[in-house]
Amino acid sequence: MGYVLQEIALFPNLTVAENIGLIPEMKKINKREIDKRVDSLLRQVDLDPKVYKNRLPEDLSGGEKQRIGILRAIAANPKVLLMDEPFSALDPISRTQLQDLVKDLHRDFKITTVFVTHDMREAIKLADRICLMKDGKIIQIGSPEDLVNNPANDFVASFFKEEGEINE
């Protein structure tokens, strides 16, 4: 399982390449394969490996750090990716760019992704299915359209009203 934290949590003393290659290295994947994978992943997110591989996290923007965190989580080809509010601390432009990136990575790598968010616009944009919970209990599961158009109860309906009548 891959995991992307709300707090970016890159290792500050490791380069971008070392951060991305950490899990594959722990899984005993050979160095040459790791290097190829790191380069390929960086290109996938429009970061030039020649420019970024040897940078330290302190030399990256918030959006770049989050991209590296996502790449680290998928570098060992997990079957499931858990993303815990990964964009909550980002500015709106970076947030939108990374939402688009997650959609592209999901399409390209076919990784089942569990995405935790309190932002219903984000959930609707990214999800095939949404599970809405209250007090640790599942209230409704369905497609974004189903939850918006056929809320199970007043709680679900109010959740979407609070977000400004989302109908995307």
The per-residue pLDDT for range 9-19, each reduced to its tens digit, is 899 999 999 99
Residues 80-108 have a mean pLDDT of 88
Pair (96, 135) in one structural domain: no
Pair (31, 78) in one structural domain: yes
pTM of the predicted protein model: 0.84
Which residues lie closer than 8 Å to 155 by C-beta, 6 or more apart? 134, 139
Pair (91, 15) in one structural domain: yes
Report the pLDDT value the prediction gives residue 115, as an integer from 0 to 100: 93
SS3 127: coil
For residues 42 and 48, the answer to whether their CB atoms sit within 8 Å is: yes
Other CB atoms within 10 A of residue 107 CB:
8
Q: What is the C-alpha separation between 18 and 94, in angstroms, rounded?
A: 24
- Given 127, 142, 157, the domain boundary residue is 127
pLDDT bracket for residue 105 (50, 70, 90): confident
Which tokens go with 36?
């190829």
Residues 67-71 have a mean pLDDT of 94
Residue 26 has pLDDT above 70, yes or no: yes
- Percent of the chain whose pLDDT exceeds 70: 96
Residues 32-55 have a mean pLDDT of 96
Pair (28, 87) in one structural domain: yes
Domain assignment of residue 146, given as a range: 128-167
Pair (145, 91) in one structural domain: no
Domain count, the chain: 2
Residue 163 has pLDDT above 90, yes or no: no
Report the pLDDT value the prediction gives residue 168, as an integer from 0 to 100: 46
Pair (85, 143) in one structural domain: no
Which tokens go with 10?
């890159």
Helix axes 31-44, 16-26, angle to 10 degrees: 130
Q: What is the C-alpha separation between 43 and 86, in angstroms, rounded?
A: 21
What CATH number does residue 14 fall under?
Answer: 3.40.50.300
Instruction: Give 132-141 pLDDT, tens digit per residue.
Output: 999 999 999 9
Which tokens go with 99?
């939402």
Report the pLDDT value the prediction gives residue 89, as an integer from 0 to 100: 79
Pair (39, 11) in one structural domain: yes
Residues 70-81 have a mean pLDDT of 94
Pair (133, 154) in one structural domain: yes
Residue 54 has pLDDT above 50, yes or no: yes
pLDDT bracket for residue 162 (50, 70, 90): low
102 residue type, one letter: V
pLDDT higher for 59 or 94? 59
Choose among 132, 168, 135, 128: nearest CA to 153. 132
Q: What is the C-alpha separation between 65 and 68, in angstroms, rounded?
A: 5
Pair (70, 135) in one structural domain: no
Pair (53, 119) in one structural domain: yes
Pair (122, 133) in one structural domain: no
Pair (115, 51) in one structural domain: yes
Going along the chain, which residue ranges are E strands? 2-4, 80-84, 112-116, 130-134, 137-142
